[in-house]
Chain A
Amino acid sequence: MSAAEFQSALNPAASESAHIAHLWWIFFWVTLVIFALVAVFLFIAILRNLRRVPDDPERAIIPEPAQATESRATKVVSALVVITVLILFALLIGDFFTGNAIYATPDPKALAIKVTGHQWWWEVQYQDPQPSEIVTTANEIHVPVGKAVKLELQSTDVIHSFWVPNINGKKDLVPGHPTTTWFTARRAGEFRGQCAEYCGEQHAHMRMVFVAEPPDAFSNWLSAQKKPAPEPSSDSQRRGREVFLASQCVMCHTIQGTKARATLGPDLTHIGARKMIAAGELPNTRGYLAGWILNAPALKPGVRMPPNQMSADDLNALLDYLESLK
């Protein structure tokens, strides 16, 4: 098996995905046995009476099958039908119990995260009764292991579908139909999610990073995210911030603690701390970040972010600034 385990329904890391994987293996073995039996009986059926002299009318055709054969066959087929019904019923019961388990009534103290689908990125908001405590980030979700999480899903443009296979099944984000889903991560790990409903030109590159981490690590991460962007600590970073605020970047992006407050694109307040850019398409390295800023459409045709022209010095300063936004 070469496919990566960090985006797999068969490598569960949450209660929900574990229930589903369990059900999968039951279905898998039952259906495998059925398939093998059908194949074996088909081969025997063909081979046991195979005619080597093909088209001799006298020997090829049985005008009236024997009554005894027919009644025996009727019994066999009836029995098979009954067995089929029983197997399906058993599978249906398994399906029912798994369904109950994954749709269990949610914990009222669950951590609430609002996820909004956009063409083609994920807006992630950690809810809090205090508006000033709400954390907004993008394309990267951190959750604590062992605590129930409630996802509030919505879309404002087209239909997307939220899916992190290691955690739970998918849920569609249908405009006009806000919805919720729950899960509880059971072990730490870094996983990948991907939009599962075709949502236009860059559906392929609408991915996300999903991090399940111990509660301490999670609360550290969350409190770091709650802070506004750190102040520049070098001349280059200061110049980078000026470049950012003077360019078209501010038309779409927010950096908390600056005047950049637009919400069309991902929030960049802590961009330096993220693992990936371009909705999980590219690793967050200086080189990719530079390429992305200069010509995003070349890396991701159809993306809403336009190309930017700037001098090498400006670009270096801007990169210094963005990388400092941990």
Chain B
Amino acid sequence: MNVSHAPIASLSAPNEQAERALAALWTRPPGLLGWLCSTNHKDIGRRYVVTAFIFFGMAGLLAAAMRIQLAFPENHFLGPDLYNQFFTVHGTTMMFLFAVPIMEGFALYFVPLMVGTRNAAFPRLNAFGYYAYLGGGLLLWGGFLVNAGADAGWFAYTPLSGPDFSPGHRVDIWADMITLTEISALSGAVVVLATVFKQRAPGMSLNRIPLFVWAQVVTSFMIIFAMPAVMVVTAFLAMDRLAHVNTHFFNPAEGGDALLYQHLFWFFGHPEVYIIFIPATGMVSMIVETFSGRRLFGYPVMVLSLIATAFIGFGLWVHHMFATPIPLLGRSFFSAASMMIAIPSGIQIFCWIVTLWTGRPRLRVPLLFVCGFILLFVLGGLTGVMLASVPLDLQMHDTYFVVAHFHYVLIGGAVFPLFGAFYYWFPKWTGRMLNDSLGKWNFWTLFLGFNLTFFPMHILGLHGMTRRIYTYVAETGWGDLNLLATVGAGIIALSVLLFIVNAVTALRDGIFAVANPWLAPSLEWSTNSPPPAYNFYNLPSVSDAEPLWHSPEQKPVVVGLSTEKREVLNTTIMDAVPEHRYELATDSIWPLALGIVVTLTMTFVVFTPWAVPWGMFFSLLVLYAWFWRGNEPKFIVEAAKPKPQVAAQPTLVAPA
């Protein structure tokens, strides 16, 4: 047993000169321009996380305004027009601009570190993905600030969102910003998959991948299968609405079908929930493992549970449509499928509790958030089982019971793990520790505020309070519990403020973080906090799933990667056997340029279909520049013919 807080010496630079040479190769160019050109996964991951957190704050302020409006019956704080924009922009922002991107941000920052490589695959695509995401966010909020905020709900059901019932450009902006954020999600998913499948440290076979990385792999596959559905459905909606195009996909008067929209939307919309939740389970697994001080119990079933969740997650979209006129037989099938998804989630809960039970838990702030997660997620999961039942769903569907349910699974199931993840990885990310006692205050206020806000909503829903109403008449008697919920929302706001205070003060004068402050087992903790631009001077090799707990100094390291070009080591998909060196693209301004062109295209397509051909033309121009002058990456296989198995270089070298 030689777990230590220090960085692993065999992975670090032998001397300062060598360090500086490699840092110069991997560090982005200086200045603002250099920052905009950066293709380093840590820069991009950090951008996603910070931007998504800002959107979280803004959408949270909208929620606070809605809670004020609903605190009393017939309140006049927000009118219906404004309220409908608020809840639509709140939901859209939380789903598309906060939850998915922040998970992707964590993935892009930590996956390369966890698998032991120097940068994510396809670095320019990665940089472009962020700019497309930012463009989508600016489009939605720009529209909102000029009174063109989407107001048809985050699901934008037709025909309400169609040209006849939503004139103006509010829904067009919504439909087009979705496309931008999905381009971004797809880019991130491709980058994560390529990084995990081809750039793992030698020896990191599929059964030794940290569970956070597995969660991100599963999520990325889900993104690739789910996001096209929403891009298609929003594109159809935009075409139905766009002057001079005027299709009738969803117009019942012309043979279109309003239910077609719902099928397409929820085929994306239900997996979306798991796209948010599965990465959170990855975070939970990492935190539970570290703070139990033992390897995670049931690693293989945990992985299989993630995969099963992903598969079943695509088979239950119809439970969002139980109240629509669809055949009965289908309902029974989707009811059973919806209950079935409780099984893999249950297995994960059991394994986490067993890990804690048989380990030596240290109740630090990240683990505190994980405990909160388990309680809230189990509660939200159990109300989910209720909603899977058709008769119960017919009563609870579209009421505040559902609002309570999905905030339990999304805030309890994803935001609590996210806060835990912030406390856990903040030291690695910034080199500073967050304050422990502020962290405990942060946790307890969030836990209290959350339950005060959302628990009463179960009761309100059972007593008939429907969703998406800007006010209610006094005779309903919903006033008291709504007031309680509003008080709870105030406590949540206070809690988030505490977190921001904690982060800002820690950045300025927090305690410096050592390489491995929590004695964690995974590779991201083997390098300095924060990691150098190149992550590892010598790439690690691994022989088990908890590399830092099993004599990391004794393991062979990879040497021989170029110090002149940005090379990474490619390994095989299954067993991570070294294959060849691979040169990554350099920093470039063209991802930003393409991001701007695509954003402008999707902005102008709100007004005219001509934006599409012009946008394609300019995109082609930019892509031409993107690939100009042999900038494209090269494979370097220095192995004997006929077919390279393992590269002659780089080599695994036993430490001196």
Task: Evaluate contact between B395 and A55: CB separation under 8 angstroms.
Answer: no
Q: Is the CB of B332 within 8 A of A51?
A: no
Of the A-B pairs whose beta carbons lie under 8 Å apart in the complex, a sample of 23, sorted by A's number, is A3-B464, A31-B382, A39-B375, A42-B353, A42-B375, A49-B361, A55-B362, A60-B293, A61-B360, A65-B358, A81-B343, A91-B389, A94-B389, A99-B390, A103-B328, A169-B394, A172-B325, A175-B258, A196-B323, A197-B157, A199-B160, A204-B469, A204-B471
Which residues in A have their C-beta under 8 angstroms from that of B517?
55
Q: Is B342 an interface residue (CB 8 A)?
A: yes
Find out whether the CB atom of B481 lies under 8 angstroms from the CB atom of A177: no
Q: Which of chain B's residues have a CB closer than 8 A to the CB of A46? A: 356, 361, 363, 367, 371
CB neighbours of A9 from chain B (8 A): 395-396, 462-464
Q: B359 near A159 (CB under 8 angstroms)?
A: no
Known contacts being A3-B477, A302-B80, is A196 close to B389, with CB within 8 Å?
A: no
**What residues of chain A lie closer than 8 Å to B361, measured between beta carbons?**
45-46, 49-51
Any B CB within 8 A of the CB of A8 = yes
B589 within 8 A of A: no
Give 3 closest A-B pairs by Cβ, nearest first.
A169-B394, A176-B252, A7-B464
Tell me whether A91 and B339 are in contact (CB under 8 A). Answer: yes
The answer to whether B363 touches A177, judged by C-beta atoms less than 8 angstroms apart, is no
B16 on the A face (CB < 8 A): no
Q: Does A312 contact B (CB under 8 A)?
A: no
**Is the CB–CB distance between A31 and B340 below 8 Å?**
no
What 1/0 flags go to B70-89 for Cβ under 8 Å of A? 00000000011100100000
A24 part of interface (Cβ distance < 8 Å): yes
Chain A 97-123, CB within 8 Å of chain B: the 1/0 string?
A: 011001100000000000000010000
**Which of B277-285, B294-302, B552-560 is the contact stretch?**
B294-302
Supplied contacts A95-B335, A176-B252, 8 more A-B pairs, CB within 8 Å: A9-B396, A48-B357, A50-B362, A60-B360, A73-B354, A95-B391, A159-B159, A196-B323
Q: How near does chain B come to A325, taking the closest CB pair, in angstroms?
A: 24
Q: Which bucket holds chain A's interface residue count? A: 35 or more
Q: Does A159 contact B397, Cβ atoms closer than 8 Å? A: no
Which of B335, B390, B463 neighbours the largest number of chain A CB atoms within 10 Å of its CB?
B463
- Seen from chain B, the residues whose Cβ lies within 8 Å of a Cβ on chain A are 1-5, 79-81, 84, 152-153, 157, 159-160, 165, 252-253, 257-259, 293-295, 297-298, 301, 323-325, 328, 331-332, 335-336, 339-340, 342-343, 346-347, 349-351, 353-354, 356-364, 367, 371, 374-375, 378-379, 382-383, 385-386, 388-399, 459-460, 462-473, 475-481, 517-519, 549-550
- Asked if B391 and A169 sit within 8 Å, CB to CB, the answer is yes
Known: A2-B479, A77-B350, A159-B159. A63 touches B550 (CB 8 A): yes
Name the residue of chain B whose CB is nearest to the CB of A73.
B354
A170 located at the interface, meaning its Cβ lies under 8 Å from any Cβ of chain B in the complex:
yes
- Bound state CA distance, A301 and B79, in angstroms? 8
Q: Is the CB–CB distance between B466 and A38 below 8 Å?
A: no
Give, as a whole number of angstroms, the nearest-CB distance from B360 to chain A: 5
Is A171 touching B360 in the complex (CB atoms < 8 A)?
A: no
Contacting A20 at CB < 8 Å: which of B378, B394, B469? B394
Residues of A within 8 A of B375 (CB): 38-39, 42
Instruction: Please give me the residue from chain A that is nearest to B387 by CB atom.
Output: A27
Roughly how many angstroms separate A73 CA and B282 CA in the complex, as a whole number?
21
Contact of B518 with A55 in the complex, beta carbons under 8 Å: yes
Chain B proximity mask over A123-149: 1 for CB below 8 Å, otherwise 0? 000000000000000000000000000
